Structure 1
């Protein structure tokens, strides 16, 4: 998937990068809350692939497919299992669920986290 040692390290970097700047739903108790759209955009920036979506009781949930493998880095925000519809989504749809400042905040904070882990 990437130059990063493990997907676990990437997940840990994301958990640290998620903040109120990247989602107004963020909380220390549930750092992934509201981060799915912005995270799917940043993941696509880093690794390519495509963005998928599925309906949940809370709205549309976004995640990625990279090299044929489904990656949902924000599934921990959900309080129950969901049936994944795997409907194709566009960057525009994911961006409509977030904002440019939230996107830039997560992208910048994640880059800082990954750079600090590689040094």
Structure 2
């Protein structure tokens, strides 16, 4: 199994406008984690297992979106995209989400682009078979 400290810079290095959730309008190189939470959480789960956690994002009293992160089997919570939020944005709650079988329905292209970059950097190519496809 890959170590999280090895995976962290590889994931962060793979982020770009083409891996960002298309509904996110604020992505830029100065905030590369913006809109990357869903695809990042899925790839962490692919490689490290654990659970997907989903919270809500509020700006003041208004709900402005959702945020994904991971809980590993040892209980550690891993959120590589938490630094995307700027005041007054706050993540609230956090419920375990069951991952449906097969590729993601939302952001599938972004997930595949980032997954391919990560697997290329870590292993020199795509996996022969993903545990979730």
Alignment counterpart, residue 59 of structure 1, candidates 42, 60, 65 = 65
Higher RCO, 1 vs 2 (CA within 8 Å, ≥6 residues apart): 1
1:19 corresponds to which residue? 16
Q: Which runs of 5+ in 2 are unaligned?
A: 59-63, 125-133
Calculate the TM-score normalised by the size of structure 1: 0.79
2:99 corresponds to which residue? 91
Cα-to-partner distance string for 1:45-88 (whole Å, 9 max, x where unaligned): 11110101111123010000002110001001111473541211
More helix by share: 1
More strand by share: 2
Count matched residues.
110
Kindly name which structure, 1 or 2, has the bigger radius of gyration based on alpha carbons. Answer: 2
Calculate the TM-score normalised by the size of structure 2: 0.72
Q: CA RMSD in A?
A: 2.1
Q: Which runs of 5+ in 1 are unaligned?
A: none
Q: Is the 8 A contact 1:44 1:50 kept in 2?
A: yes
Deviant stretches of 4+, over 3 Å? 80-84
